[in-house]
Homo-oligomer: A and B are copies of this chain.
């Protein structure tokens, strides 16, 4: 894979929003956060359930180093459109904490991945009898043998082991391997913002798994590119889903973090998303701040802004960085044509 040949939004000179990015413009700019992918990409030709072709994977976000079950981080969920299978949020909403790595995968692997998180957590916390795994999912069935459920618990453990910081691979990797965004090949994207609040600087980062959007509605930094440029096969597929992970080190309570989570939808709106019927859209947010002095709500708006901007840019990066992928039954998702995109942006 030569993903680094494809540009991010900043490489195209795009400046999304008004806040500065973090050092790497990734979710891992939030201190102590790391990301790991396992990509499963093999087989070609007609779909044979249980055999392939396989275009899927798993992506994990570790909210902190060390034993997350013991440390726990402040957590919140927001359901934009509930047509999805995401796991773990009743407890997060009730108790305001996340005690598990956050995993993303293809829809029908959701529960095996959750079971893999149990393997991971139980092996590190002997004697504990209850864990609340967090899994988000999008449907990669257009390219992948989704019913075959090729992601297993071992891939979860492997993704956790591989988790690194600060470099986060984007595009068709991990859970993003088989995804589609605004009709183009999508997948994983990330971004971050530096947010001033009450005189201090905090980082807000986002990581998106994108599988949503109508090609006609894609907006690149506000420019409705979908008016001028559609994927080679014009079939309008606007169902899918999006999972947005929001991370911060800002000192926020779970109530305040819920307010942050509810702002991700504005980033999705800016890029042209509308949460179509079939798009199960979820936001999973955490803060790994561990003290007990919290910001005032009066000082929270810049954190909201950081969520909006890093979400918009994460989604855009997931498209820019993804490469054309041929999947089961010869189904193709084309990468967005960067040259044409540049041309359009410069011309307007």
- A residues near B, CB below 8 A? 17-18, 49, 79-91, 93-96, 107-108, 110-112, 114-115, 118, 122, 129-133, 139, 141, 146-147, 149, 216-217, 219, 221-224, 238, 253-255, 259, 262-263, 265-270, 272-278, 280, 282, 292-294, 297-298, 300-301, 304-305, 308, 348
Contact = CB atoms under 8 A, between A and B. Distances in A.
A17 B270 CA distance: 12
B111 A133 contact: yes
Q: Which 10 A-B pairs have the closest CB atoms?
A: A269-B269, A82-B94, A222-B222, A129-B141, A82-B90, A266-B269, A111-B114, A111-B111, A276-B301, A111-B115
A91 B223 CA distance: 33
Given A216-B18, A269-B265, A277-B301, A91 B84 contact: yes
Contact of A304 (B91, B270, B277, B304): B277
Contact of A282 (B85, B90, B275): B90
A309 to B, nearest CB: 9
Nearest to A81: B94
A294 B49 CA distance: 36
Nearest to A241: B130
A122 to B, nearest CB: 5
Contacts of A81: 94, 259, 262
Given A85-B91, A222-B222, 11 more contacts: A79-B94, A81-B262, A111-B111, A111-B114, A118-B149, A122-B147, A129-B147, A221-B224, A269-B308, A275-B304, A292-B293
A117 to B, nearest CB: 9
Q: Which of A147, A282, A305 has the most CB of B within 10 A?
A: A147
A88 B88 CA distance: 10
A242 B119 CA distance: 25
Nearest to A113: B111
Contacts of A95: 82-83, 297
